[in-house]
Amino acid sequence: MPAADQQFTVTVGDTTFSAAYARPADPTATVVVAHGAGAGMDHPFLRGFTDALNGLGLATLRFNFPYREAGRKFPDRPPAAIAAWRAAMDTARARGRCER
């Protein structure tokens, strides 16, 4: 059975975006997963992928890029996308430490 998602938002600069963290008992690592240009973090493939990773003992963090949160279809420029990735990675790292 997959680990239950903890839904929350991440802030980077003046922007926030959605994320979901799932942690099975005693994970060996955390995998951060982002969507492609055509779908958000709750796409069935991403949910199934992270559920499978949770089943293998890995914690997961899925997130939406800010453009998706704003309802835009065109991806953010690289500086905004990179900032979102960094914030998601920092969040995953912090959550992993807090749970130990």
Domain harbouring 88, CATH code: 3.40.50.1820
Domain count, the chain: 1
Q: Which domain holds residue 77?
A: 5-98
> pTM for this one?
0.89
Give every residue of the chain whose pLDDT is below 70, as ranges: 1-2, 98-100
Strand 5-12 relative to strand 15-22: parallel, antiparallel, unpaired?
A: antiparallel
Using CA atoms, how far apart are residues 40 and 25, in angstroms rounded to an integer? Answer: 27
Q: What is the pLDDT of residue 20?
A: 97
